[in-house]
Structure 1
């Protein structure tokens, strides 16, 4: 079992806390570009439909091709991150995103627009996987939940910013500016990552122990005792993690986190969140908000809820734990989706707009406090070091492919069975996700990454780890 990583004294915590927060906020800019493009397409679709004479199916293709690119980007990024490092791969994905944003903004015909959207998708797919991976590997265990969740907070700020920019540009139908401004967070991310170190875990895994020590000193700040963390790293490397059978994807101890990661990835999308993000203005128009500006402004209100509740999740995740937030959020999402479906069953009228807005806001709020940040946090924690890049890559690919299926089918499904039935279907899937999470998802609060790996090994042997020293002095409820 892994050795205890001793809690630093209060003066050391105070000395290093702000240092690591600043570094984490810089790295979390990957979430900002992810969020901006995810949100900006919802407003731009209202104008792309007219500019390129798009049918409902082609609207889905314009949205979906970025998602297909994201799945491809995630698959490549995992391999590159394991071979060349987290930092250079993240810089490369930012550059691809910037290129895609510029091409999309300059598109003169549909083919060029689709090419630009594909490049954007490759960039956000890589960033969506690499950002939480990087954050998890640089964060102290006792603060890992909050620091990794900065990524999701940056996503929500990106989404909200895209809504506000969409509203500001709606009156002039400036969809080119909407898409082109996405290059800004990409440039900022690449520049910020040039100033940050590679993760100590990746360096140590690849034999660069001295560089790992230097990176850890830089991350924690001078004067902070890093020896407990270095000892844990050396112990993990000394156990020959690369050759242990549980460090192969086919081993049962690796299959268990893979099932959890891919399962949560699929459920995060098939429960409908990106129908709200991508098509919220369309949904609001259907509920009676006829103008594009009004629909985008109402969507911005939902974006504010997303930001606020994600901030709440960051405050709670290292206090009440991942599992509690996940289960509570899923239950609230299911109830909110039932309310949204019921609102659409009531037909037209002024009340429908208010009920729709309230139900959507509640749904997004519960997602933002649970499944939204907790999914990305968990997949950065649950995979053994030797397969972490590939494991996260597999989960992220599943996430983007599920996202693609939902985006391509939502509008056609609405035409086929109607909005109430669609949202009842999403509600049923949400309650299915609740049962899945309750049965399989462990609590990882306070565990070192090495201890999480030991937890899966114990589960694979139908044992419960009895070593109380695997946590950083934080009492954690049993899974």
Structure 2
């Protein structure tokens, strides 16, 4: 097998073809990405549910921050643990476990006891809320690691970017659903006590769908080959490939696994024994951190608060906050169309350039338009929409696809877990300090800080991130292990 440039593959695999196997592949992707939908809803619902919950339970700003960030930091642990778990236990069974965690976490949050009188809470009640958020965080982190890997390992290389990227589309669909549910419930039934529980309860429906759906889905064929189950892997591939293509892929996978075993490349030992594997881990970690330091989740978590500070009323901010959610979905759809046509590096460079410019414009608008100016909230809203659209079109989908494909098979769960762990830790740091930073230095300086960090991220991508598009996972594995992936390619 030989490998061409970043934009083209010269693999000897037969063509993918069309037919029932393509529809089956689409169904498997749809069911698995309910994990992404849950990821999005659970991270977005707090955007509107936090205020009524805090009023009913009498939570202080400190307890609000604890409640919000507990999911994020638990997600970091979930990403690490579930990545490793999926290597040993299987991608499919791990996703089924995540569905159980999503449902259990939702139940704890929805049925957490309140205080004896309105505006109060008990230690047991708040502890139950935190337990529920921690369970949801473990599930969110696990889904962010395992679902993209599952999709990448099932996908043919020709459409790997668009197929694996569907998970990010479902994440933003989940966030948009949370924003819409919050806006409708907050404006129509916001006066009802405990209405925030209904906002959280919606999450139970896709959790049930994910659980029962994955019971009927196959295991990753590449994971099965890694366990020596060649017959099982070929049976799976036969349902999502033509027979000739399935047999050819099994042959390549068998040769690769035999080569790995001959080299004794297993897990952590292989990473630290090979500087190229250590280097690719650092690339994954750096890319995950850079993505979060754009501040995208400060908008997804606290968008309504930012819009209130810009000049919108509370109810108007809830409605206006739907706009970033809509543009995120549109951007994800555009990104899926581009994933298999535009090089990953070009996508990253374009994305960090646009988000950095957006930060500068948001900061400048906030600085030059005084508070009370009728135009100010609408200008900032428009710039926030541009920022979210740029982020979603060029960075979010591409980063998750890149992390799912860059690591060799024997360390894919570990590598993805470490990278996403770093991503979630930085997510938590941004979630904890964004509002205090806005309160301390104002919206303008906050976004100027994001712009400075964005410039550094752009330099990191330019210097350190190698190209991956247009090559099979097996070809990428060989190039990552030998270091050939870092050698500049001529077209």
Distance across 1 between alignment mates of 2:28 and 2:231: 21
Distance across 1 between alignment mates of 2:248 and 2:462: 34
* Structure 1 residue matching 2:321: 3-state secondary structure: helix
Deviation at 1:190, TM superposition (A): 1.4
Match of 2:221 among 184, 194, 200: 200
Distance across 1 between alignment mates of 2:18 and 2:263: 35
Number of the residue aligned with 1:80: 85
* Structure 2 residue matching 1:249: 3-state secondary structure: helix
Match of 1:256 among 279, 282, 305: 279
Number of the residue aligned with 1:93: 98
Match of 1:344 among 366, 370, 374: 366
Deviation at 1:224, TM superposition (A): 5.3
Whether 1:388 aligns to 2:412 is: yes
Distance across 1 between alignment mates of 2:475 and 2:333: 27
Match of 1:209 among 200, 221, 230: 230
* Deviation string, structure 1 residues 25-72 (Cα, Å, up to 9, x no partner): 221111100011111111112222312323333222111000111111
With 283-292 and 300-309 compared, the bigger mean Cα shift is at 283-292
Distance across 2 between alignment mates of 1:137 and 1:8: 18
Match of 1:229 among 249, 253, 266: 249
Number of the residue aligned with 2:157: 141
- List gaps (5 residues or longer) in structure 2: 4-9, 114-124
Distance across 2 between alignment mates of 1:356 and 1:461: 41
Whether 1:62 aligns to 2:64 is: no
Distance across 2 between alignment mates of 1:90 and 1:276: 28
Distance 1:57 1:278, change over 3 A: same
Residues 13 and 245, structure 2, Cα contact 8 Å, conserved in 1: no
With 114-123 and 168-177 compared, the bigger mean Cα shift is at 168-177
* Structure 2 residue matching 1:225: 3-state secondary structure: helix
Number of the residue aligned with 2:120: none
Distance across 2 between alignment mates of 1:341 and 1:78: 38
With 419-428 and 143-152 compared, the bigger mean Cα shift is at 419-428
* Structure 2 residue matching 1:394: 3-state secondary structure: helix
Residues 39 and 158, structure 1, Cα contact 8 Å, conserved in 2: yes
Match of 2:437 among 413, 418, 424: 413
Number of the residue aligned with 2:473: 449
Distance 1:245 1:209, change over 3 A: closer
Distance 1:105 1:271, change over 3 A: same
Whether 1:269 aligns to 2:292 is: yes
Number of the residue aligned with 1:469: none
Distance across 2 between alignment mates of 1:195 and 1:439: 44
* Deviation string, structure 1 residues 200-251 (Cα, Å, up to 9, x no partner): 1110110111111111112226x55312211110110121257455961212
Residues 246 and 457, structure 1, Cα contact 8 Å, conserved in 2: no
Number of the residue aligned with 2:455: 431
* Structure 2 residue matching 1:239: 3-state secondary structure: helix
* Deviation string, structure 1 residues 79-101 (Cα, Å, up to 9, x no partner): 21011100001110111011101
Deviation at 1:2, TM superposition (A): 6.1
Distance 1:75 1:286, change over 3 A: same
Number of the residue aligned with 1:21: 26
Match of 2:131 among 99, 112, 115: 115
Residues 30 and 127, structure 1, Cα contact 8 Å, conserved in 2: yes
Distance across 2 between alignment mates of 1:231 and 1:245: 20
Residues 266 and 402, structure 1, Cα contact 8 Å, conserved in 2: yes
Distance across 2 between alignment mates of 1:304 and 1:224: 42
Number of the residue aligned with 2:322: 300
Number of the residue aligned with 2:142: 126
Match of 2:200 among 179, 182, 198: 179
Residues 262 and 398, structure 1, Cα contact 8 Å, conserved in 2: yes
Deviation at 1:369, TM superposition (A): 1.1
Number of the residue aligned with 1:310: 332
Distance across 1 between alignment mates of 2:204 and 2:359: 34
Residues 148 and 400, structure 2, Cα contact 8 Å, conserved in 1: yes
Number of the residue aligned with 1:286: 309
Distance 1:99 1:121, change over 3 A: same
Number of the residue aligned with 2:396: 372
Residues 34 and 209, structure 2, Cα contact 8 Å, conserved in 1: yes
Distance 1:224 1:189, change over 3 A: farther
Residues 253 and 460, structure 1, Cα contact 8 Å, conserved in 2: no
- List gaps (5 residues or longer) in structure 1: 466-476
Number of the residue aligned with 1:468: none
Task: Count residues with an aligned counterpart.
Answer: 464
Distance 1:191 1:435, change over 3 A: same
Number of the residue aligned with 1:40: 45
With 313-322 and 144-153 compared, the bigger mean Cα shift is at 313-322
Whether 1:422 aligns to 2:434 is: no
Deviation at 1:464, TM superposition (A): 6.2
Distance across 2 between alignment mates of 1:241 and 1:259: 24
Whether 1:6 aligns to 2:30 is: no
Distance across 2 between alignment mates of 1:87 and 1:5: 28
Distance across 2 between alignment mates of 1:365 and 1:78: 29
Q: TM-score, normalised by structure 1?
A: 0.93
Match of 2:258 among 235, 238, 243: 238
Distance across 2 between alignment mates of 1:242 and 1:98: 43
Deviation at 1:9, TM superposition (A): 4.3
